[in-house]
Structure 1
Amino acid sequence: MKLWALLAAVVAVAGFALWGGGGQAGSRLIVIITPSLDNPFFGQEAAGAEARAKQLGYETLTFSHGDDAFKQSELIDTAIARNAAAIVLDNAGAEASVAAVQKARNAGIAVILIDREIAARGIATAQIVSNNYQGAMLGGQAFAEAMGGKGPYVELVGKESDTNANVRSRGFHEVLDQYPGLKLTARQSANWSQSEAFTKVQSILQAHPEIKGVIAGNDTMAMGAVAALQGAGRADVVVVGFDGSNDVRDAIRDGKAVATVLQPAYRQAQYAVELADRFLKTGSTGMPEKLIMDCILITRANAARLKDFALQPGAR
């Protein structure tokens, strides 16, 4: 009986080291993987995670997968090969990322997802997402009011495979569809891209010069719309974005956009590292797997306090 008890204890400790305790034994490396480092939103995610990890005494490696699930899988392999303790990941697609996160888990690595969730529960250590529906409703209300509750408008949608794109669109329409005077003239995906948004809004303006508003699923697409509208001399068109970027902040202050919705990318990434640290030390984050952070409407009234996807102290 004593032998069986000893074997059971060994198995329990091994299981804790592999998963319950989180990370690979003795590792102080946190790998940070985001869709892009050039996009300001994702760049601030990486910066926030890296800064907090170093404050807590970890080494870091930062990569981008470019919204390519195959490249993401290769980067997970790299993290495993480098003996990472944890991965902070803004993933490359809700369905396409499940296998990669499972692979990291099987290797004993804690994975904290930020910004985008995956289409599975019980695999990631935590999934921290913005309250995209709540935020989209805020943006939709600001857009409807700026439009005076009427007129033809365009919606620019993000990448169709991204859960956030669909959730934000539903949140927008939860509000906009209550205004019978608002007429959706065109709804097109610009894949989160400024250049695609620019080209598509140019084409839409030619086909539908009557449009009076553009509501975009992220600020990058909103800035593409602003550029196209400026090029066409259309200062009369209402533009609302989503993310809380410095670019749209400046456009709001210059009267080229009406509002954006801040999702706290920097703080979200910091919190991901804090949860990873807690998990590595105790075997638990002490929190539910899915965690939601509310968004904040940014207008001319508070735009001056917005910097790098965060409201400065004293902001409301």
Structure 2
Amino acid sequence: MILKRIRNAILALAAPLLLASPALASKDKPVIGVVVPTLAAQFWNNYVDFMKKGAQELGVDLVVLNADNKPDQMVKSLEDLVARPVDGIIFTPYWATAARGLTLAKDADIPVILTDSYPDFAPQTSRFPNYKAFVGPSDQDAGRQMAEALFAAMQPDANGKKVIGVVNGTAGTSVAIDRRKGLEDALKSHPEVVVAGEVDGNFVRDTSQTVFESLYQGHPEIKGVWAANGGTATGVMTALKNAGKKPGKDVVVVAMDLNPENVDAVKNGDLLFDIGGHWLQGGFALVMLYDEIKGHPVPKAQDNVKLKLLPLTQDRIAQFQADFPAGVPPYDFKAHSRVYTPEAAAAAFELKYSK
């Protein structure tokens, strides 16, 4: 009886340690789950590749799941990560999935950083204390810059009008909404510009090509296209070529993302203007979440990051390629992590040309 009591006492003392050990072991090499809207878009592949580089440098086990442009799959992916469980989650809350995903993670005490598309509530509040930060682009500013470049390059028709078509992104996302707001800002000061029609390209190439083909057939007077992202622009340019038109000459196109194929399109004159670099947001979020997991909380003053993006026109191609070989800026993940560098600068930074 005495031996049994001793054994039970030892087990009782050991139980908390046994329960805690998986989490402690996990945090030696944190497991961070990532859910992206779709890997059918080049942008999200760039996003993931940069995160993989960061995971290797920091010592993170990265689990990447693809929502495949399906709201239900986004939620299921989040449920899978919570059930695994992971030490942290980074996801892009398309289709109003922010509250659902944050609730799942909150119930499991998992910290989360949202990227690219933000909800209508701030990070680090009592509602979702596990929502540590948002990192994404200044979409409205980018949308306005795209529009201004497009309008300036177009010649008015015989009636003094500049007729454009608009291919928007995924409906209902803050990304698409804010970029369209930027276009609207520019339209207010350009009464000569007429929007012949708008379609939803869902931020992917094939859909954008199909919907723009229909729009252009109905409105051959279109001489400029505001395309919501890089994949959308590629679809638009393909549609124009299939219609026997020369992008950049017969119809001017502007876009956003700085995907490699769009950089090439700017270089050869098919694409007038591109702006981007925000696929880096995934790597920035990774550093912030890694530090959070390791006991260095995201400072409140740095919990809502809206990145100013890098504009690109044909005359800046040489400088872009010199400053960003392969389109990637130099970035030392450990130098931006307070785990490795106690006085580290903020994880995110603004892309700029050196000259």
Q: Same fold (TM over 0.5)?
A: yes
Answering whether residue 143 of structure 2 is matched by residue 136 of structure 1, we say: yes
- Alpha carbons of structure 1 residues 52 and 239: separation in structure 2 relative to 1, 3 Å: same
274, 278, 282: which one pairs with 1:269?
282
Between 1:69-78 and 1:153-162, the stretch displaced more is: 69-78
Does the residue aligned with 2:94 lie in a helix, a strand or coil?
Answer: coil
Return the alpha-carbon distance in structure 2 between the equivalents of residues 52 and 175 of structure 1. 37
Amino acid of the structure 2 residue aligned with 1:58:
V
- Alpha carbons of structure 1 residues 40 and 192: separation in structure 2 relative to 1, 3 Å: same
Answering whether residue 298 of structure 2 is matched by residue 285 of structure 1, we say: yes
Q: Provide structure 2 residue ranges, at least 5 long, that are not aligned to the other structure.
A: 1-15, 331-351
Q: Provide structure 1 residue ranges, at least 5 long, that are not aligned to the other structure.
A: 1-13
Select the structure with the greater relative contact order (CA < 8 A; seq sep ≥ 6): 1
Answering whether residue 164 of structure 2 is matched by residue 153 of structure 1, we say: yes
TM-score (norm 2): 0.77
Structure 1 residue aligned with 2:272: 258
Structure 1 residue aligned with 2:342: none
171, 177, 182: which one pairs with 1:171?
182
Return the alpha-carbon distance in structure 2 between the equivalents of residues 112 and 308 of structure 1. 27
Q: By how many angstroms is 1:283 displaced?
A: 5.2
Amino acid of the structure 2 residue aligned with 1:126:
A
**Runs of 4+ residues over 6 Å off in structure 1:** none
Q: By how many angstroms is 1:25 displaced?
A: 4.7
TM-score (norm 1): 0.86
Q: By how many angstroms is 1:309 displaced?
A: 5.6
Return the alpha-carbon distance in structure 2 between the equivalents of residues 69 and 205 of structure 1. 30
- Alpha carbons of structure 1 residues 262 and 310: separation in structure 2 relative to 1, 3 Å: farther
Structure 2 residue aligned with 1:91: 93
* Aligned-residue RMSD, C-alpha: 2.3
Answering whether residue 316 of structure 2 is matched by residue 302 of structure 1, we say: yes
Within 5 Å, give how 1:199-214 maps onto structure 2: 199-214=210-225
Amino acid of the structure 1 residue aligned with 2:194:
K
Identity %: 21
Return the alpha-carbon distance in structure 1 between the equivalents of residues 240 and 329 of structure 2. 28
- Alpha carbons of structure 1 residues 275 and 197: separation in structure 2 relative to 1, 3 Å: same
State the number of aligned residues.
Answer: 294
51, 72, 75: which one pairs with 1:70?
72
Does the residue aligned with 2:134 lie in a helix, a strand or coil?
Answer: strand
CA contact (8 A) 1:44 1:309 kept: no
Q: By how many angstroms is 1:57 displaced?
A: 1.2
Answering whether residue 232 of structure 2 is matched by residue 231 of structure 1, we say: no
Return the alpha-carbon distance in structure 1 between the equivalents of residues 176 and 326 of structure 2. 22
Amino acid of the structure 2 residue aligned with 1:69:
P
Larger Rg: 2
Tell me the alpha carbon deviations over residues 193-230 of structure 1, each in whole angstroms, 9 at most, x when there is no partner. 21222122222222211111011111111111101111
Within 5 Å, give how 1:18-97 maps onto structure 2: 25-27=24-26, 28-93=30-95, 95-97=96-98
